[in-house]
Amino acid sequence: MGPQHPSTHGVFRMRVTFDGEVILDLEPIFGYLHRGIEKLAEHKTYLQNMPYTDRLDYLASMSNNMAYAMAVEKLAGIEVPERAEYIRVIMAELMRISSHLVGVGALFNDMGAFMTPFLYMYREREKLLDLFEMVCGQRLTYNYMRFGGVSHDIPEEFMPTLKRFIDEMPGFIDEYDQLLAENEIVLARSKGVGILPADKAINASVSGPVLRGSGVKWDLRKNNPYSIYDRFDFEIPTGSVGDVYDRYRVRVEEMRQSVRIVRQAMEQLPEGEVRTRVPTPLKPAPGEAYVCIEAPKGELGFYLVSDGSAKPYRFKIRAPSLINLTMLRDMVVGWKLADAIVTLGSIDICMGEVDR
């Protein structure tokens, strides 16, 4: 199946062995989008690599930017001003909402509700993309974060528009729940399908909503707080069984919690600088840094090795989607093809990240 197939979420290929309609074996094959980012990054300066990080998980570019900026700041010992931290958190949480909208919409697409829920969720996403365009001029790949803060301050019209969006969003989430959460077909196709037990999930280094769907209460924003997440009050939704339905519910609840975080951040937003001056080109002292954040798809980590020059010596990306795919085979063997498609949709992968 694949690489060019409507249900494969990008150029992903699965070699599936069947007995009738029951799956006996599944081999995921990727590399169709391997662009050699890790190698290319070694020939460009740290700032020139920022746009490459956008194109990893292109549905959550701000999160990627933030992780990379934090890794370089740790390596070079740069402080970030308060206002910039708040802006980063607002952007990251809005990004989480946007990514989960697409993830849940695509899941419903796979379940058979052809385009309708997807287009509904896209309506909200367009509002978010307008907000992002107001801030940095781009709809998809933002390149907004810089080392020491963000590239420029938010414009005046941003806050009122954001307030309107945040006030309306819980209503929309409730609307989707009303239509979809108790729907018979959704329940039949997702309850009990693609089960991932908690101990296997931990052993397979799975992270993000997939891990939380299996009942493991682990979220880097709470268990290893980075940036200013320890100042906000929010819950970590978890599932119980680890099936497709649980992962869908976890994502919807996370959207609600993100709205909560953004509301608190908007209230607490201080005045001040949005960027610390750093020398260009940036030459961090020789050393290494591994920084991981809770991106919408899971734990996104950057491991940077510096040799004192303006270009990174090693630029390694710990991509959540790649590692979440480890369990696909085990979740799907013994089930039918349609279940495999739905399970793949519930893991929510992004090929830009898997292949880099």
Partner 1 sequence: MEIETPYVLSDFDKTEAEQIEALMAAAKEPYPDPVAWLEEEIEHNVLLTTTEHLIDWGKRFSVWPNTFFPACCAFEVISAAASRFDFSRFGMEVLRPSPRQADLMLVAGTVTWKLAPALRRVYDQMAEPKWVIAMGACAISGGAFRGSYSVVPGINRIIPVDVYIPGCPPRPEGLIYGFMALHRKVAKDKLLKKG
Partner 2 sequence: MTKPLSGAEIARQIGEQLSDAVTGSDETTVFVRSEDILNAARFLKENLDFDYLPSITAVDFLDHFDVIYHLRSIKNNYSVVLRTRCDNSGSPRVPSVVSLWQGADLQEREIYDLMGIYFEGHPNMKRIVLWEGYEGHPLRKDFIMDVPGGGKTT
Rule CB under 8 A: is residue 178 a binding residue for partner 2? no
Q: Is 297 in the site for partner 1 (CB under 8 A)?
A: no
Per-residue contact track with partner 1, 4 to 33, x per CB under 8 A? xxx---xx---x-x------xx-x---xxx
Question: If binding is defined by CB under 8 A, does position 139 make contact with partner 1?
Answer: yes
Regarding 140 and contact with partner 1 (CB under 8 A), the answer is yes
Shorter beta-carbon distance to partner 1: residue 234 or 315: 315
**To which H or E segment does residue 29 belong?**
strand 22-29
Q: How far is the CB of 270 from partner 1 (least distance, A)?
A: 34
Block residue for tokens 């979809």: 180
Nearest to 320 by CA among 296, 290, 291, 345: 296
Residue 100's binding partner among partner 2, partner 1, none (Cβ under 5 to 8 angstroms by kind) is none
Residue 312 C-alpha from the chain's centroid:
24
Q: Encoding tokens for residue 107?
A: 């899941």
- By C-beta, is 202 or 236 nearer to partner 2? 202
Binds 200: which of partner 1, partner 2, none (CB < 5-8 Å by kind): partner 2
CB of 69 to partner 1, least distance (A): 18
Q: Which 123-162 residues touch partner 2, going by CB under 8 A?
A: none
- Of 129 and 236, the one with the shorter C-beta distance to partner 1 is 129
The smaller minimum CB distance to partner 2, of residues 11 and 259, is found at 11
β-sheet bridge partners, residue 19: 22
37 binds, among partner 2, partner 1, none (CB under 5 to 8 A by kind): partner 1
Per-residue binding letters, 217-236, with partner 2 (x by CB under 8 A): -x----xxx-----------
Is there binding between residue 290 and partner 2 (CB under 8 A)? Answer: yes
Can you tell me the distance from the alpha carbon of 247 to that of 259, in angstroms, rounded to the nearest whole number? 19
Footprint of partner 2 on residues 306-325 (CB under 8 A)? 313-314, 316, 318, 322-323, 325
Q: Which of 16, 47, 58, 200 binds partner 1 (CB under 8 A)?
A: 58
Which window, 52-60, 179-187, 249-257, 268-276, contacts partner 1 (CB under 8 A)?
A: 52-60
Number of residues this chain uses to bind partner 2 (CB under 8 A):
36
Length of the chain: 356
The answer to whether the CB of 45 falls within 8 A of the CB of 311 is yes
Nearest 5°: the CA angle 194, 251, 123 is 120
> How does DSSP assign 275-325, residue by residue?
B----SS--PPSEEEEEEEEETTEEEEEEEEE-SSSS-SEEEEE-HHHHHG
CA distance 157 to 152: 14
| β-pairing verdict for 287-295 and 149-150 | unpaired
* 51 and 38 Cβ atoms separated by less than 8 Å: no
Distance CA 210, CA 206 (A): 7
Residue 259 has which token pair?
């709205």
Query: Letter for the amino acid at 156?
Result: E
161 vs 205, beta carbon nearer partner 2:
205
Give CA–CA dist 206/324, Å, rounded.
5
Residues contributing to the site for partner 1 (CB under 8 A):
3-6, 10-11, 15, 17, 24-25, 27, 31-37, 39-40, 51-52, 55, 58-59, 102, 119, 122-123, 126, 129, 139-141, 351-352
